[in-house]
Structure 1
Amino acid sequence: MVSLSARAGAIALAFVGAAFMSGCSSCNGGSRDAPGKPAASGSAAAPPLPPPGRTIADIVASLAGCDIEHRGVLLDAGTDAMTGRFAWTGVAPLGVDSVEHDASTWARVSGRTMRLFFVLPEASPIFVSARSMGIASRAATVSLDDQPLGTLNFNRNQIRVASTGATTLPVDPGLHTLTFRFMGRARDADAYADLDWIRVGVPDENPATYGPPTLRDVVSPAAALSGVPHRSIALRGPGAVRCALRLPPGAHLRTAIGLQGAGEADASIRILRDGQKPVDVSAQHVIGGEKATWSEIDVPLAPHTGSLVHLELRAESTPQGARVLFGDPVITLPAPPPPATAKARAVVIVVLNGVEREELPPWHGAPTPHLPALSELALTGTTFHRHRAPTTYPAAVLGSMLTAMPPRGHTVTDPGARMPASQTMLGTIAHDASLRAAMFTGVPATFKSFGFGTGWEHFAEFPPQGNDLATTPIEAAATWMTNVLRQAPEARLLAVVHSRGGHPPWDVTAREQATLAPNNYTGVIDPRRGAQQIASARKRGKKDKDVFSAQDKERIRALETVALTGQDRAIGSLVSALKTAGIWESTVFVVTGDVGSGADALYAEGQELSEKLLTLPLYVRFPDARYGGANVHLPTEVWDITQTALSALGIAFSRPGLGRDLSGVASGLEDPYEEPQIATLDDRFSARWGELIMTGRYDAAPSLCDLELDPTCAFNRRETMPLAMQALFRRIVARDVATAAPASKREPATIEPETASSLRVWGAMD
């Protein structure tokens, strides 16, 4: 088998090698001289840069998520730069809103307390200042990590810069919290104060008037040198922009550096990691004036790929009135765009409920002769090993797959919610595009009562309390596809199956039951009532491991094996039906799970956001067996399945959605590390970015684990990895702000008697 992580590295290295062979003499450090050695701006002898490659990150566009420094850290109040800054709330807390003053965005504070966090890069005394206007408050006390720092005094209805005194001792580098408590009494419609910016200042002897590096000040949309414009980051020295990135193999930084204004200045580019000294990757000495020109640089970042880093663009010093410009800074890959999934006649997605990945091939480790269809998929299809769910509630996972939105976006976030009628699902756009689209479900949480029947040409649900076997939804999908193709041989199809998987009730005859392990079993587990028995034990407030004996658990696993054996057989029959119809080689065939199971969480829904429950199996058989036999160790999520289906069928949502085409990921040319994998449930979250995992609840400091150092996550790295801590939390909040629907959009499900009966048998209702 082929490992796609190795394949990705080989492809990237091949393209980097091609760049070097084409004469990329400036790739050694991004400047025309070695890193750290000053180079004159606009040297006439410089060799040409390599071709630009493919842009994967635009630093100017993502500037709001970066740290901006000038004589200290600046927080640009009222703008997107505050996203994820409020410690540790998911969004701006109640009582903090944006207002406009003289075409500038401010924060209006009507809550008595406001808490913010920031990272101090180096030990230093600090003070806090703010450009402010008092409304109901004349002052606010400021605390640093709950220790008094000083007071900000405001002028009522007048703008002024208020400051605390500086600390007498240096403050340790790392993550810190500022708490503002506003004095005074605000009336019903009044706020305490308006804030333009907040500065965590570093005392210095610089006599120049402080110029705050707000987003509006730092971005120069068309800065021109010698008549050549660039969209630029403009920095006064000493100042820096520091952005969190997870760089894929072969990544380069491309930018143009120059000086706007008279004189000379020094610029540098650094890589920062928690617990390590900054690494200089490029240094430039730039000359301004009327004949100032751009120095185009291309910095290979190969030594820094594969982990979370902070890229820092730095102005070491600037003459008064001048600024160092970083023009159009982007991260590129010297590789072609990733391929899309080939157009397909059919897309078939089978989702198994409540399966434990370690019981399936190839993760089981030992041969699985009772699962021949899945074993064949593992050998001839593409197996994705880092597939992760966005929650531990099965209906929410299916909702995300059908909408390409996170649970808080489509609002199916709890057992009582239904998919809103206003939410467009995959079946709707397929049907509207004249494709034949159907869904088959044996899982009550995705029945019509929960809104999943909308938009399909054909929708069928199979209650667990009826006479239908667990294999029936898969068999019904095969029958429907066969009948459609018999009537319309040129039809294009989409079929989604939500199968029981390993979840009880289990279809076992009395004769089969007598042969199951353990021998002479006398425990309580009954195949038909298993779900109710397990749920009843859970509701008594005890963990499954404390309720069920070792024999009980052995019997549960034996029953689950029988169930999966039957459904594997049905999957094999579905594949045979596609082959008989002559469309197998032009079909995208997907088998995955919704929520993991395990000894301590037997078929539980809405459990803790642990990696064991979030990690899912994923097999994909692409048209013509492309990437057949490949094992992909790159991160994927459920909406990647959605985007793959959209690509294969040539359709699209009218609004943006999450996800990447799995063909691009399998090729090794897609960058799936650009953003973390984020899972949520109620007020809980779990984000994985490479080997880093952050878990927690909003309004409490989260925990950070580094799997590379601590595979069991026994130690909290929050204090020792402040840069990673800040980056992950801000990414979590930014995704939530961008995608979450208002709470008012949630629709409660109306449960009719038949669905209520299904939920009782499923163990989901008393």
Structure 2
Amino acid sequence: MWTASFSDAARSGESRSYPVTMPSRFAAAVQSEASRRPSKSPRRPASILKPTLTSSDPMVLPRASKSSTRILGTAGLLLGALFALGCKSAEKAPAETEPKPTPTVEAGPSEIRIAGSEQKHLLAERASDCSIIKQGFVVDLAALEPRTARGRSDEGAEVVTRAGRALRRLKETAEFEFWLPEAMPRVGATLLVSNAGSDRIALSVDGSRMGAVKVPDGPPRAVQIRTVPMALSRGRHTLSVSLSRKKGAPPGVEIGWVRLAAEDLGGASEEPLGANEIEDELTFGEARRQAFVLREGMALRCPVWIADPKARITTEAAMWGSGDGGVQMILRRDGESARLLAERTFERGDKPGWTPIDSGALGVSGEFVEIELRAIRAGKGSRLALSRPMVEAEPVAEAVAKRAARAFVFVLGGLSSLHEPVSAAANGLPVMSELAGEAVSYPSYRTTTTSARGVLASLMTGAPPWIHRLIENEDRLDQTLSTLAEQLSAASGRAAFFTAVPTTFSAFGLGRGFERTEEVSPTEDRPADEPLTLFSKWLSERSSQKGPLFAVVHLRGAHPPFDISREAAQLLPPPEYGGELEPRRAAIQLAHIRARRHRGDRVMPEDDWARLLAMSNAALRDHNRALRETFAALRRQGLWDDSLIVLMGDVGSGLRPNIPFSEEAPLDPEYLSVPLLIKYPQSEFGGTQVKGLYGPEDVHATIAALLGQKPSDDGLVLLPSARPDLLARSRAHVAVRRGRYATILGPYRLTGEEGKEPRLCRRDWDPACSQPREKVDPLAATLLWNWTRSALARGDGRPRPRSLEPLETRVQNALFVWGAGPI
């Protein structure tokens, strides 16, 4: 059984530094890059430093973690005015070794330039992300995460090193999941093993016993299990290692790799290299590279998603040793013969050095393929070294936009696909359709969790949920994460947060950095749209603010309880309603229905559905009126044109027959898909749509960039001229909640839960995911799992701040009325 694991660390093949902008108390420490072999923990930038900036300096901002982006903010009009008044020009401060706050960014028309992206990423972050081939398929148990009786953990299954070889020390029976790139009609096994208490071990694949072998004493040695009539299909499998137990002694064995071959190798067997031996850092001349090192006849077959037909694979090759050798780069596609992309040979006596290898345009698009790197020759005492191969797509050119003087984000709860601009007017929210004429629409926007609290945390910090970990009622925002409000405060800006949604009250840490935080509880006799009134009052006090302004307004939207009187509710459809749903108690009533023990009892009569929809639309009409008034006031005050306006949903309400507004909603599209509109300064690009999967981290990056701040490393700037559509098609969209995950890349969707078997489906023609395709499309399943594991592993070891103190009674009561408290 394929079991999800979030604890295996990802490693990057590049060392890069980024400028960072944050308050001094959150200054990032300098981290050193590993000097020899990659460790199990993710690689971090070698240094994180930021020089002091003055008003004449360019503002340097990265577009995303995989494509460095520079944003240059110019304040020409402001400086011209200062010079005209005879002001002394600012002098550039000397560079500092400590990060310093971003300087004041004056409001007014100025230009933001977003540098183009080279669109390069690693073909494989680790050798274990590829199939290792050497006279069979090599399963490196030291590089895979075991599953034991203790669950997914290194406890009782740690990695040890013997004579430069990494081995997994097992103290109990363990299972390992692996992938075969090709089917095998018969299979035998050779394994690298050492006695640590057990004199015999047995191997099984998918529950079928392969055989047992005696474990030698002394240093690790290769032993063989003879070929058995066992057929293994292409795709995912589970290898089980069972240990014998000596009387009076605990079991134990140290095991490295297991090689599966279709025939007995006998004396012709040559030992392969494990993943830790393949990964190395080598220097030829003055050029040092992280590299994959292969013996003669060894190969790596790496699955990769190719989105751009002009994409190419590039690497550098060198011979490590005095012999001759050669390397081939091969493209493998399902249903087609292998195609040689490039070949390079080395002769004895050639000058040592790195030699570039380029595949040329692959000519495939929107497809999972395998790239094979094979050492065709490597003389005795020599090995072939390949610098970490890169996938290079067509570069994205520089973009230009107007800097925003202020940014206002309006988030509504309980929206769904019915509230996209094309249908919003018929479902209580015409302002969504009206704004679409001046804004850019992102129809494929998806949240990265089904927790509204988690979405707001990502919006404010730019971190995905597996980093900030603010999802449940017990969680609190990590103090080590800087918020955009804190960055703006350090830049002489002002920020405010107004919420009527109990799950985003300041008790959870979301108010950090805001000069004003206002909460409107559903237990209070206050209008549901009062956050907009409070926002307008705050804005009137800050209308002359010189630095950037930022505000987030979180409204209940279509989510109950509803600010509707009982008398008004009686006039709503259906006529002569005899059900029990009440406006003020609707969230509690829906929670009680969801909590029923038997699934068949979790249903509502048709009249209840009709009344719920009518109340939701009535609540939205009130919000629609208040939003129209707010937008009109911004226009009257001259604050509309040069502002960035975001109108979006938090999490989806869900679709029938599921009871909506669940706080434990699955990661299905109807809960992740919500509307997103962004009006850029001067309504630039208004009335257009941008394709691509985006998340709240991208919204954060966009707001930060246009306010002159550092965008999130996890986000893309969604400005249409920055071509986020090209950048997004090469990355996976990952969503998480309570041990579950859902990953989308191209037409594929991988879903799973820790401890259970994931499911792969084609979302383009099977949106219900009723036809599993793990065995039909093993390349897609392999790569999506690698992508998910690498993303989620970044959160391993991070603190998950939780409060041992109970929430205030006021907050507990608000959560209960919201349907998010204990039932």
**Are residues 449 and 278 of structure 1, via their aligned partners in 2, closer, same or farther at CA, if it must alter by over 3 Å?**
farther
Per the alignment, residue 670 of structure 2 pairs with 612
Per the alignment, residue 177 of structure 1 pairs with 238
Q: For 1:637 and 1:155, locate their aligned partners in 2 and report how far apart those are by CA, in whole Å.
A: 53
Q: For 1:721 and 1:395, locate their aligned partners in 2 and report how far apart those are by CA, in whole Å.
A: 35
Q: For 1:646 and 1:559, locate their aligned partners in 2 and report how far apart those are by CA, in whole Å.
A: 36
TM-score norm. by structure 2 comes to 0.77
Task: Tell whether 2:373 aligns with 1:313.
Answer: yes
Query: Deviation at 1:461?
Result: 0.6
Query: Deviation at 1:605?
Result: 1.1
Shifted more, 150-159 versus 599-608: the winner is 150-159
Q: Deviations over 1:114-154 (max 9, x none)?
A: 33323242425333333233222222211011111122433
Between Structure 1 and Structure 2, how many residues are aligned?
A: 702
Per the alignment, residue 576 of structure 2 pairs with 520
Per the alignment, residue 646 of structure 2 pairs with 590
Alignment of 1:569-584 (within 5 A): 569-584=625-640
Per the alignment, residue 400 of structure 1 pairs with 458
Q: For 1:177 and 1:99, locate their aligned partners in 2 and report how far apart those are by CA, in whole Å.
A: 22
The answer as to whether partners of 1:350 and 1:592 remain within 8 angstroms in 2 is yes
The answer as to whether partners of 1:418 and 1:748 remain within 8 angstroms in 2 is no
Task: Tell whether 2:354 aligns with 1:354.
Answer: no
Shifted more, 405-414 versus 731-740: the winner is 405-414
Which letter maps to 1:270? L
Per the alignment, residue 703 of structure 2 pairs with 645
Q: For 2:268 and 2:279, locate their aligned partners in 1 and report how far apart those are by CA, in whole Å.
A: 21
What 5-or-longer segments of structure 1 have no aligned partner? Answer: 1-51
Per the alignment, residue 132 of structure 2 pairs with 68
**Are residues 343 and 108 of structure 1, via their aligned partners in 2, closer, same or farther at CA, if it must alter by over 3 Å?**
farther
Q: For 1:439 and 1:493, locate their aligned partners in 2 and report how far apart those are by CA, in whole Å.
A: 12
Per the alignment, residue 740 of structure 2 pairs with 684
Report the secondary structure of 1:417's partner residue: coil
Task: Tell whether 2:698 aligns with 1:634.
Answer: no
Task: Tell whether 2:490 aligns with 1:426.
Answer: no
Q: For 2:338 and 2:684, locate their aligned partners in 1 and report how far apart those are by CA, in whole Å.
A: 41
The answer as to whether partners of 1:60 and 1:232 remain within 8 angstroms in 2 is no
Report the secondary structure of 1:374's partner residue: helix
Alignment of 1:100-249 (within 5 A): 100-102=161-163, 104-156=165-217, 158-168=219-229, 170-184=231-245, 192-203=252-263, 210-219=270-279, 221-222=281-282, 224=284, 232-249=291-308
Report the secondary structure of 1:164's partner residue: strand
**Are residues 206 and 381 of structure 1, via their aligned partners in 2, closer, same or farther at CA, if it must alter by over 3 Å?**
farther
Per the alignment, residue 289 of structure 1 pairs with 348
Q: Deviations over 1:14-62 (max 9, x none)?
A: xxxxxxxxxxxxxxxxxxxxxxxxxxxxxxxxxxxxxx99242123655
Query: Deviation at 1:192?
Result: 1.6
Task: Tell whether 2:332 aligns with 1:271.
Answer: yes
Q: For 1:539 and 1:739, locate their aligned partners in 2 and report how far apart those are by CA, in whole Å.
A: 31
Which letter maps to 2:547? A
Which letter maps to 1:501? G
Q: For 1:759 and 1:705, locate their aligned partners in 2 and report how far apart those are by CA, in whole Å.
A: 36
Query: Deviation at 1:577?
Result: 3.6
The answer as to whether partners of 1:74 and 1:198 remain within 8 angstroms in 2 is yes
Which letter maps to 2:617? T
Alignment of 1:451-470 (within 5 A): 451-470=509-528
The answer as to whether partners of 2:467 and 2:794 remain within 8 angstroms in 1 is no
Report the secondary structure of 1:375's partner residue: helix
The answer as to whether partners of 2:474 and 2:802 remain within 8 angstroms in 1 is no
The answer as to whether partners of 1:53 and 1:333 remain within 8 angstroms in 2 is no
Which letter maps to 1:764? A
Task: Tell whether 2:436 aligns with 1:436.
Answer: no
Query: Deviation at 1:89?
Result: 11
Per the alignment, residue 14 of structure 1 pairs with none
Report the secondary structure of 2:728's partner residue: coil
Shifted more, 476-485 versus 499-508: the winner is 476-485
**Are residues 623 and 613 of structure 1, via their aligned partners in 2, closer, same or farther at CA, if it must alter by over 3 Å?**
same
**Are residues 403 and 167 of structure 1, via their aligned partners in 2, closer, same or farther at CA, if it must alter by over 3 Å?**
farther
Task: Tell whether 2:138 aligns with 1:82.
Answer: no
For the aligned residue pairs, the C-alpha RMSD in angstroms reads 3.4
The answer as to whether partners of 2:316 and 2:355 remain within 8 angstroms in 1 is yes
Task: Tell whether 2:626 aligns with 1:567.
Answer: no
Between Structure 1 and Structure 2, the one with more helix by share is: 1
Per the alignment, residue 811 of structure 2 pairs with 755
What 5-or-longer segments of structure 2 have no aligned partner? Answer: 1-115
Report the secondary structure of 1:724's partner residue: helix
The answer as to whether partners of 1:373 and 1:572 remain within 8 angstroms in 2 is yes
Q: Which of 130, 152, 159 does residue 98 from structure 1 map onto? A: 159
Which letter maps to 1:392? T
**Are residues 524 and 228 of structure 1, via their aligned partners in 2, closer, same or farther at CA, if it must alter by over 3 Å?**
closer
Query: Deviation at 1:443?
Result: 0.7
Q: For 1:664 and 1:202, locate their aligned partners in 2 and report how far apart those are by CA, in whole Å.
A: 52
Q: For 2:504 and 2:770, locate their aligned partners in 1 and report how far apart those are by CA, in whole Å.
A: 37
Per the alignment, residue 63 of structure 2 pairs with none
**Are residues 439 and 53 of structure 1, via their aligned partners in 2, closer, same or farther at CA, if it must alter by over 3 Å?**
closer
Q: For 2:239 and 2:564, locate their aligned partners in 1 and report how far apart those are by CA, in whole Å.
A: 61
**Are residues 69 and 522 of structure 1, via their aligned partners in 2, closer, same or farther at CA, if it must alter by over 3 Å?**
same
Which letter maps to 1:759? L
Per the alignment, residue 795 of structure 2 pairs with 739
Q: For 2:196 and 2:380, locate their aligned partners in 1 and report how far apart those are by CA, in whole Å.
A: 35
Which letter maps to 2:526? D
Q: For 2:478 and 2:385, locate their aligned partners in 1 and report how far apart those are by CA, in whole Å.
A: 48
Which letter maps to 1:233? F
Per the alignment, residue 57 of structure 1 pairs with 121
Q: Deviations over 1:456-496 (max 9, x none)?
A: 2111110012122221113322321231124x3x1311111
Q: For 1:582 and 1:186, locate their aligned partners in 2 and report how far apart those are by CA, in whole Å.
A: 85
